Structure 1
Amino acid sequence: MIANSGCRACRDGEPLDFAFTMAFQPILAARAGRVWGYEALVRGPEGQSAASILDRVTDATRYRFDQAARVRAIELAGRLFPPDSDARLSINFMPNAVYEPAACIRASLEAARRVGFAHHRIMFEFTENERFRDIAHVERIVREYRRQGFITALDDFGAGYAGLSLLANFRPDLIKIDMDLIRGIDADAGRGTIVSGLVAIAGALGVSVLAEGVETRAEFDALRALGIDLFQGYHFAKPLLEGLPHVAGFTDAERSAAA
């Protein structure tokens, strides 16, 4: 009954009783010295925090909000990304709001077609911080999304409920190491050892690694020395509401290539 109710709400296009939009933060490929993609982050229409919006999402509106957020992110990306760009779009989604993976992805595919955004450039992030009600169901979601050609990522890796077991079960294309493991890593041998081990495990599984929440050049340098190539954080750019922010934090040559 819940699944039918959720899918019916999506088809009927029932409006949410609150407005929201997206801010974009770059994901950088260090070796190439360029923007690899942008993460779409939920914000209020005037830049209010994601928490202020998510607090308004109830069990009854979770499915509709998840669908609407995906479509909004794709539509903005179609408008903002340069026509000749191959940058990816990263979208957070709520696995507990997905009733039937193949059916629930239709609105995203339709939005991508409508704005001419190749769907293989879309990455869906699911967070380790959300307790999954049905692990087997989440596995089906990840499997279906990969079959459709989307990129999949496990966000906040190292900070949530299940840790390595999620990586073993889901085998996403990418993991985003949580910022709590990143913070001060240049001066913390313990954090360096942990992240080095995660990089080695991910490499053995064929999974890419992204360091999120990088705030200093010293953290950036330490993480690069551990073999990480993808980065995100305030050291490079803060999210920009309905826009693509200027990138800093690289060398002059890297900044030029990433602009």
Structure 2
Amino acid sequence: MEISEKYRQPLECSACADSVGLDFDFTMAFQPIVNTKNQEIFAYEALVRGINNEPAGVVFEQVNGDNLYRFDQCCRTKAIKLAADLSMPTLLSINFMPNAVYQPELCIRTTLNAAETYGFPIENIIFEITESEKVEDLEHLKKIVAYYRDRGFKTAIDDFGAGYAGLNLLSEIRTDIVKLDMALIRNINEDLVRQVIIKGVLQVCQDLQTTVIAEGVETKEELVTLQSFGIDLFQGYLFAKPLFQRLTAVDKIDFD
């Protein structure tokens, strides 16, 4: 993807936080990822929202090939600033689109500057690889992930089992975390085929020492089935919906 030169220029953290360089503004909601074994919040995922809590789709309609890189910069800065403002005590998970990162060292600089400016520890940041389209350059993505991990960030494959985020990607990209897509999770208690598939993925991840998170959990039956497979980390409406510019308190979550 050819990125317009005006969007390649780095911005100060305050400019990214204010969406300078974009023709639209946006903010974040946060959804917890919970550990049901320890009954703790493991992380919060930052999810894009409009400034009046419009859904992510409304924001993404305004993202294009020209402003994708600037949007990615602003996303990570806004997420880090809000997490710091809210005194987030856990890991912070930020999505990134591989095709938006043209030079990982510059994107890392944006993140490091934001973490330093707003006082958020870099070791508490997870970068989730989000694939809405096929990665244009797999070697480039491998370089990005390696660069992030070498500098202390955690990495994750999001929506594993959907679209392009499958075993082929896992075989090429070594991340700390794999997030099972909600399409695999939905009604898992009634689907023997998907139960076998998830058990197989869990064995692969265990051998690779990769942490597994089940996302999109909505029912107790799904939860119990997944727990029986040995999964401890979950995300979904069963526990909490995303809160607009706020964090769900741990005492508001039913872990049982």
TM-score bin (small chain): over 0.9
Gaps of 5+ in 1: 252-259
CA-CA distance at 1:15 after TM superposition: 2.1
- Equivalent residue in structure 1 for 2:32, among 15, 19, 26: 26
113 and 208 in structure 1: CA distance in 2 versus 1, 3 angstrom threshold: same
Say which SS state the counterpart of residue 215 (structure 1) adopts.
coil
For residues 62-211 of structure 1, the aligned pairs below 5 Å read 62-82=68-88, 85=89, 87-161=90-164, 163-211=166-214
CA-CA distance at 1:218 after TM superposition: 1.1
CA-CA distance at 1:127 after TM superposition: 2.0
CA contact (8 A) 1:212 1:233 kept: yes
Higher deviation after alignment, 137-146 or 3-12: 3-12
1:248 aligns with 253
11 and 161 in structure 1: CA distance in 2 versus 1, 3 angstrom threshold: same
CA contact (8 A) 1:6 1:63 kept: no
CA contact (8 A) 2:182 2:214 kept: yes
Over aligned residue pairs, what C-alpha RMSD do you find?
A: 1.7
1:33, 1:130 → 2: CA distance?
Answer: 35
Q: Does residue 227 of structure 2 align to residue 224 of structure 1?
A: yes
2:8, 2:192 → 1: CA distance?
Answer: 52
Letter in 2 for 1:250: F
CA-CA distance at 1:7 after TM superposition: 6.4
CA-CA distance at 1:103 after TM superposition: 1.7
Superimposed CA distance per residue, residues 124-160 of structure 1 (whole angstroms, 9 cap, x where no aligned partner): 0012443111000000000000001000000000011
Higher deviation after alignment, 202-211 or 7-16: 7-16
CA-CA distance at 1:9 after TM superposition: 3.1
Gaps of 5+ in 2: none
Superimposed CA distance per residue, residues 48-84 of structure 1 (whole angstroms, 9 cap, x where no aligned partner): 11011011001110000000010000000001135xx
CA contact (8 A) 2:2 2:65 kept: no
CA contact (8 A) 1:6 1:99 kept: no
Superimposed CA distance per residue, residues 81-116 of structure 1 (whole angstroms, 9 cap, x where no aligned partner): 35xx2x100000111111111122111111111121
Moved over 6 A (4+): none
Identity rate of aligned residues, in percent?
Answer: 48
1:196, 1:128 → 2: CA distance?
Answer: 23
CA contact (8 A) 1:57 1:65 kept: yes
1:17 aligns with 23
Letter in 1 for 2:215: E
Say which SS state the counterpart of residue 105 (structure 1) adopts.
helix
CA-CA distance at 1:162 after TM superposition: 5.2
1:255 aligns with none
Superimposed CA distance per residue, residues 168-222 of structure 1 (whole angstroms, 9 cap, x where no aligned partner): 1111100000000000011211111111111111111111100000001111111
1:5 aligns with 5
User: How many corresponding residue pairs?
Assistant: 248
2:201, 2:62 → 1: CA distance?
Answer: 35
CA contact (8 A) 2:157 2:175 kept: yes
